[in-house]
């Protein structure tokens, strides 16, 4: 359907009537899906439900103003909008509720996200970009409230970049920057910091962004008086209103049940944002929530009888129906007939979706019952196996977990038996797990041939007498080469532009490449990250700079919940190859300690986490990542910018491999693994250890996610039979992760003659200054004595007790 509403001046009354009734049909269809969806949860067929009932009318208006090339960054009540654009059918809606793992049937996430989370496909099967200007786009939702806001900023900023930066190959991404980024959020979620940070940043940047605030006066059970000053979000944002002399927002307010006002408001907002590149806020008031917040509870528990009566009277669908009747667009009989037809269609969609979800399980159940019967007949433990078979038969609507769990339990009763029936069941279980596990685990990282871990290493090359330069010079000149090579490359952050970052790694580059490509931002880490995500979703190659590693905490929610999960939750249908640049390691003081790696590597699964020991290695990581299209965090060593390194002659071309370790010193007595700035201390200690007859092999982890894909540490341990992991993080953090990777995953325990050890920082944050660093983190003497102690335990005669 064409969602663009034409006026009666443009078309005949019959055509106008048809459009109105089409909108009403979508509204009724969406509402019926919500009502039946709740029942599916309460009867146990679906796990959880959160629906868009009560928000239908404004979403219809938004859909009519939404053009090809536009992007949505919304939240989990926008089902009517998606249905109005033809991007969601009732059957797909129910498949989302049931968590169907077939992407063709459940195209939003193949059951990986709960219902109400909507995305479109930006990528073809081979991972190349589709033409985003020829389709209506939705970035995939996340559940954390206001979590969609930072990304919205970047989606809107991309239009400004495309309109103002010349020389970009942008045919698939823009029509001269005429696209609008549409955000939606509930009124209570505007209390979140992400909302206010995004609103401020978009006002500063003046980007084509329209934020719809669905206001039903509650946040779950908590009314607006506890959520918002003055109980009115547009009132408190009124200072952002633009004037003739000062830029800002256009702020519009409209009642959510007023169909004609909604249509005109959204058309007006679209024109302003699209043509003038001005952000717009639409505060949609007097909305309702007929079924309460979600299936977790009923709103009758917390709303007064008066409020419930008001909501019933002012339900937007009811008011829309009354408007249609009062304007004689349709008769009561016409609407009743239409409503009956829609309800029948939705019920059939629900039935078909459930059967399509269940039938493959039933077929697997038949085969499994037959196998269990054969196993029972062949085993002395027939009675126990028959009970499991009967338990399976009793499950009328089996899930995948039933089909996996019960046969695995049956194998416990045939331990030591060797029969064809047992072998057949083992093969069935293996095939079933192999077939189904990817439905829940694939696409955490790219699975395409050009994935970053497939980019070959390119070693640095040097002239005969390479010039020793500060590490920052290597980074600067490498970035210079990259900005010349990739016109879509951008970098931004606090102090990144005019002064070329706080450590001068971008010195002079803004002047050379312009303020769009190399820019300063405000102090706003969450939206620096979101800015990068949105730009990357629209075909640009951003590097978002976070000034110091501990400031990453401000943006960690956005990195963890949005960027790191993006490829996974879209099953490879969207990508955001954002590079996050920061600096840390061996800093001094509680707040700039740079010691959060343990948390980072666990919260950012789905991103690469790279910890180069020097700036040549760091430059190589940037080069590698730009040859691929995956997100990553690079942590440069803060105390390495002024250290001298030989200047490579192939800057812009050298590539540091991702997922591989490097043996930086060979040895025979013990394997020592570290990374970042601490590795330099380990290297100094390794030289000192030679004086007492200990030959340590030193390995630079350099890539934490992923770690050591070729198991080179295992090869070292096979030779040395001893292992020490040195890490500046707190005990049990990154060192524990590396220990599991080496000892458990690689199986290094088989080759140890001594207990494996970790040497980490103290349990507290590092204290200030050089003394604080010495007594808080592993120092050279700590490392020396730890290695010596391990050798003393193994050979006390050659290595007598040190102290």
Residue matched to tokens 């820019």: 519
What residue spans of 285-331 are helical by DSSP H? 305-313, 316-326
Which two three-digit tokens encode residue 584? 């840390």
CB atoms within 10 A of CB 666: 12
| CA dist list (Å): 145 to 34, 132, 225, 557 | 21, 27, 18, 11
Residue matched to tokens 């020592």: 672
Which two three-digit tokens encode residue 802? 């040190």
Contact 477, 505 (CB under 8 A): no
Angle at 328 between CA 323 and CA 332, to 5 degrees: 80
Burial of 288 (0-12, 13-18, 19+ CB in 10 A): buried
Per DSSP, the residues of 596-647 read: -HHHHHHHTBTBEEE--SSHHHHHHHHHHHHTS---EEEEEEGGGTTSEEEP
Q: What are phi and psi for residue 111, nearest 5 degrees?
A: 80, 5
Which two three-digit tokens encode residue 446? 């790219």
| CA dist list (Å): 223 to 188, 304, 310, 744, 757 | 8, 11, 15, 51, 54
Per DSSP, the residues of 525-592 read: HHHHHHHHHHHHHTT-EEEEE-SSGGGHHHHHHHIIIIITTHHHHTTTS----PEEEEEESS--SGGG
Name 126's bridge partners: none
Q: How many helices (H) and strands (E) does the chain have?
A: 26, 22
In 3D space, the residue among 474, 527, 471, 528 whose CA is nearest the CA of residue 497 turns out to be: 528
Length of the chain counted residue by residue:
803
Q: Which of 592, 602, 757, 764 is catalytic?
A: 592
Q: How far apart are CA 803 and CA 792, in angstroms?
A: 11
H or E stretch at 682 = helix 676-689
In 3D space, the residue among 204, 182, 207 whose CA is nearest the CA of residue 72 turns out to be: 182
Contact 429, 408 (CB under 8 A): yes
CA 384, distance to chain mean position in Å, is: 45
What residue spans of 690-756 are helical by DSSP H? 712-720, 734-739
DSSP state, residue 110: T
Sort strands 608-610 and 703-705 into parallel, antiparallel or unpaired: antiparallel
Sort strands 579-584 and 632-637 into parallel, antiparallel or unpaired: parallel
Contact 278, 250 (CB under 8 A): yes
Q: Identify whether 418 is a catalytic site residue.
A: no
Per DSSP, the residues of 466-531 read: PPEEEHHHHHHHHHHHHHHH-TTEEEEETT-STTSSTTSTTTTHHHHH-TTTEEE--S-HHHHHHH
Could you give the strand order of the β-sheet that contains 670-674, starting from the edge strand earlier in sequence? 662-665, 696-700, 670-674, 723-726, 757-759
Active-site residue set: 592
């Amino acid at each position: 359907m064409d969602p663009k509403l034409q006026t009666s001046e443009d078309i005949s009354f019959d055509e106008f009537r048809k459009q109105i009734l089409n909108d009403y049909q979508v509204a009724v269809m969406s509402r019926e899906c919500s009502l039946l969806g709740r029942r599916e949860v309460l009867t146990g067929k679906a796990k959880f439900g959160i629906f868009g009932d009560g928000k239908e009318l404004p979403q219809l208006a938004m859909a009519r103003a939404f053009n090809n090339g536009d992007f949505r960054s919304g939240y989990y009540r926008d089902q009517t909008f998606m249905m109005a654009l033809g991007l969601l059918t009732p059957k797909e809606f129910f498949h989302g509720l049931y968590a169907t793992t077939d992407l063709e049937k459940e195209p939003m996430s193949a059951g990986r996200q709960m219902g109400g989370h909507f995305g479109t496909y930006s990528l073809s099967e081979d991972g190349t970009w589709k033409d985003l200007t020829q389709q209506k786009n939705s970035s995939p939702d996340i559940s954390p409230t206001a979590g969609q806001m930072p990304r919205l900023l970047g989606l809107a900023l991309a239009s400004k970049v495309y309109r103002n930066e010349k020389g970009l190959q942008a045919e698939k991404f823009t029509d001269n920057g005429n696209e609008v980024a549409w955000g939606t959020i509930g009124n209570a979620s505007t209390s979140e910091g992400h909302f206010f940070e995004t609103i401020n940043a978009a006002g500063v940047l003046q980007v084509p962004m329209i934020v719809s605030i669905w206001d039903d006066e509650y946040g779950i059970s908590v009314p607006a008086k506890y959520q918002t000053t003055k109980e009115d979000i547009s009132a408190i944002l009124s200072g952002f209103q633009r004037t003739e002399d000062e830029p800002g927002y256009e702020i519009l307010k409209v009642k959510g049940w007023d169909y004609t006002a909604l249509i005109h408001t959204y058309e007006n907002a679209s024109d302003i944002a699209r043509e003038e590149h001005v952000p717009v806020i639409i505060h949609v008031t007097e909305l309702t929530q007929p079924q309460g917040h979600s299936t977790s509870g009923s709103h009758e528990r917390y709303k007064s009888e008066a409020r419930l009566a008001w909501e019933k009277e002012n339900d937007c669908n009811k008011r829309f129906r009354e408007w249609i009747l009062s304007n004689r667009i349709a008769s009561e009989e016409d609407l009743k007939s239409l409503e009956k037809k829609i309800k029948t269609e939705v019920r059939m969609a629900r039935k078909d979706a459930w059967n399509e979800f269940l039938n493959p399980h039933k077929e697997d159940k038949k085969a499994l019952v037959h196998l269990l019967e054969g196993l029972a007949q062949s085993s002395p433990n027939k009675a126990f196996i028959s009970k499991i078979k009967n338990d399976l038969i009793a499950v009328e609507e089996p899930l995948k977990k039933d089909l996996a769990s019960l046969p695995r339990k049956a194998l416990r009763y045939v331990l030591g038996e060797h029969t064809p029936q047992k072998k057949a069941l083992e093969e069935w279980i293996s095939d079933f797990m192999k077939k189904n596990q990817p439905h829940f685990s694939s696409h955490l990282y790219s699975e395409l041939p050009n994935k970053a871990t497939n980019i070959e290493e390119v070693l640095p090359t040097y002239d005969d007498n390479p010039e020793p330069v500060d590490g920052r010079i290597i980074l600067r000149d490498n970035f210079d080469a990259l900005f010349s090579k990739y016109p879509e490359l951008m970098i931004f952050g606090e102090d990144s532009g005019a002064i070329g970052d706080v450590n001068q790694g971008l010195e002079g580059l803004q002047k050379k490449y312009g303020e769009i490509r190399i820019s300063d931002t405000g102090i706003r880490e969450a939206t620096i990250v979101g800015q990068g995500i949105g730009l990357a979703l629209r075909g640009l190659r951003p590097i978002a700079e976070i000034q110091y590693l501990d400031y990453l905490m401000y943006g960690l929610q956005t990195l963890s919940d949005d960027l790191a999960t993006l490829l996974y939750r879209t099953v490879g249908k969207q990508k955001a190859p954002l590079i996050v640049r920061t600096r840390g390691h061996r800093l001094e003081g509680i707040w700039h300690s740079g010691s959060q790696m343990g948390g980072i590597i666990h919260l950012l699964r789905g991103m690469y986490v790279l910890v180069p020991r020097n700036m040549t290695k760091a430059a190589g990581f940037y080069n590698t990542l730009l040859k691929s299209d995956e997100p990553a965090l690079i942590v440069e060593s803060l105390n390495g910018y002024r250290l001298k390194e030989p200047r490579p002659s192939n800057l812009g071309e050298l590539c540091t491999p991702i997922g591989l370790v490097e043996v930086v010193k060979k040895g025979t007595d013990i394997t020592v693994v570290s990374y970042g700035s601490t590795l330099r201390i380990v290297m100094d200690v390794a030289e000192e250890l030679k004086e007492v007859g200990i030959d340590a092999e030193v390995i630079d982890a350099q890539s934490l996610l992923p770690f050591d894909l070729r198991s080179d540490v295992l090869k070292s341990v096979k030779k040395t039979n001893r292992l020490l992991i040195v890490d500046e993080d707190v005990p049990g953090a990154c060192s524990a992760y590396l220990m599991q990777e080496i000892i458990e995953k690689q199986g290094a325990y088989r080759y140890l003659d001594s207990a494996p050890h970790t040497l980490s920082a103290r349990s507290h944050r590092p204290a200030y200054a050089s003394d604080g660093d010495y007594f808080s983190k592993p120092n050279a003497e700590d490392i020396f004595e730890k290695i010596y102690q391990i050798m003393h335990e193994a050979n006390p005669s050659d290595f007598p007790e040190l102290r």
